[in-house]
Amino acid sequence: MSTDYNNILSRLCFHLKQLSSPDVVILPETDLINELAIDSVKLLSLVMEIEDEFDISVPLNVLADVQTVHELANLIYQIKSQNK
């Protein structure tokens, strides 16, 4: 993965930190629902923040396949790469 991916992962972790309890450690393999308790409403709000930050649109269809922090970061990376 490139620096772009690492940058995306870092920014994503920053946003996730705002939604989680302070003592939670967020790693690429962290499960969004089971470990961070990000429900569907929170996830959609998070996605809108991310869309603004990276100037992309994330289709709802593909979000259903996302479970971990890495998978979400990778999805953003792929969409951003396609838009270049």
Partner 1 sequence: MSLLDKLDAVAAARKALLPEGLEVFGTPIEEVYSATEARIGDRRILFLGTNNYLGLTFAPECLRAAHEAIDREGTGTTGSRMANGSYSGHRALEREFAEFYHCQSGIVFTTGYQANLAMISGLAGAGDVVLIDGDSHASVYDGCRLSGAEIIRFRHNDVSDMEKRLKRLGERSKSTLIIAEGIYSMLGDQAPLAEIVRVKNAYNSVLLLDEAHSLGVLGKTGQGLAEETGLTDGVDFITGTFSKSLGSIGGYCVSNHPQLDQLRYISRPYIFTASPSPATIASTRAALKLLRDGTELRRQLWQNSRQLYARLDGLGYRLGPQPGPVIANILDNPQQALMLWKGLLDHGIYVNLILPPAAPEGKALVRCSVSAAHTTEQMDHVGNVFAELRKSIFQ
Interface contacts to partner 1, rule CB under 8 A: 39-42, 44-45, 48, 55-61, 83
On whether the CB atoms of residues 36 and 24 are closer than 8 A, the answer is yes
Q: Which is nearer to partner 1, 40 or 78 (CB)?
A: 40
Least distance to partner 1, CB of residue 68, Å: 18
On whether the CB atoms of residues 3 and 81 are closer than 8 A, the answer is no
Least distance to partner 1, CB of residue 67, Å: 14
Please enumerate in sequence order all residues whose Cβ is within 8 A of that of 29, keeping only pairs 6 or more positions apart, or say none. Answer: 68, 69, 70
Q: Which is nearer to partner 1, 23 or 55 (CB)?
A: 55
Q: Which is nearer to partner 1, 7 or 40 (CB)?
A: 40
Instruction: Write out the two tokens for 23.
Output: 């003592």
User: Which residues face 68 on adjacent strands?
Assistant: 31
Least distance to partner 1, CB of residue 51, Å: 8
